[in-house]
Chain A
Amino acid sequence: MKLLTLNFLTCARKTCKSTAAAFPLHPKEAELEQVEMELNPLFVKNMLPRLDWEAMKTLATELGLPNLPAETPVAEELANESGEPTQTLRDLHTLLMETAIASGKLVCGNCGHEYAVKEGIANFLLPSHMV
């Protein structure tokens, strides 16, 4: 599961839906993998305003990744004057699209439920009493 996806995923339980603590989910015993993806500058630009950068920084810290910039990069930083992709764009691409959780757990900060991740797929099936 790409870190991009984790920046949008919340706890699935109804009781957690409107609580701030249910996002972001916290990785536990996470194994990371690097997956090569083709650079898609327009996609990164499209996603930039939607990212929750605070959650991104929390995630990077919890995964032991290098510290991220304090503020969300802005669209102007993605290409240089001649329109070439900048290092900022490449770093974002690596972080969001190529860094993935291969296995481990995702824990809700509100209810404590642990969603298992195996082969990159998170199990969000809830037993009916938890729906």
Chain B
Amino acid sequence: MNDPYRVLGVSPSASDEEVKRAYRELARKYHPDNYQDNPLADLAEEKMKEINEAYDAITRQRAGGGQTAYQSQPSGPSAGGYNANAGYAGSRDPFFQKVYQAIQVGNLAAAERLLTEEAPTRNAEWYFLMGVVCYHRGWLDEARQNYQMAVQMEPGNLQYRQALQMMDQGGYNTYRPAGFTSAEGCDPCSTYLCISCLTPWGGPCC
């Protein structure tokens, strides 16, 4: 394993508190919630694992090398594993199951070919999966249009509605580094206002 201190970006002489703070910031950054449906979710998950192991190793080391001396297990990725398009566990229809598998292994061309050439019917699920293919390509507008179609055809389906809602919000909440955290909604025109009048410290709000 890599040097746990390097993984957390702190020096070996850092205090317990500093190590914990660095770990928390990284855990906030790589948290699976920030990478829901993101084509890079697997890389974030790997990073999360790496920092969990590093933090574990350091706390064990500092507690005197005992395996169980440090009980508090840091909050890692949620148990049960994390999948792209959480909520959609695959289809009961074997054809759509095949399409979904192709998407999961990253073979978008194959998934699209199956959908456009071999699909027996264009039902709500067809549009939903087409939306997923578009989303993974980065075609966000077309992904939204497909999700919308799926919702129209099957308004009762929660997954389709969630997918559409996610698009209408411009994606899930993502990590913002320290110093940029409250910049949301702080457009450059009102920034000037925030700078001097609205913050008690008279400094920038974000």
Bound together: no
Q: Which of A's residues lie within 8 Å of B, judged by CB?
A: none
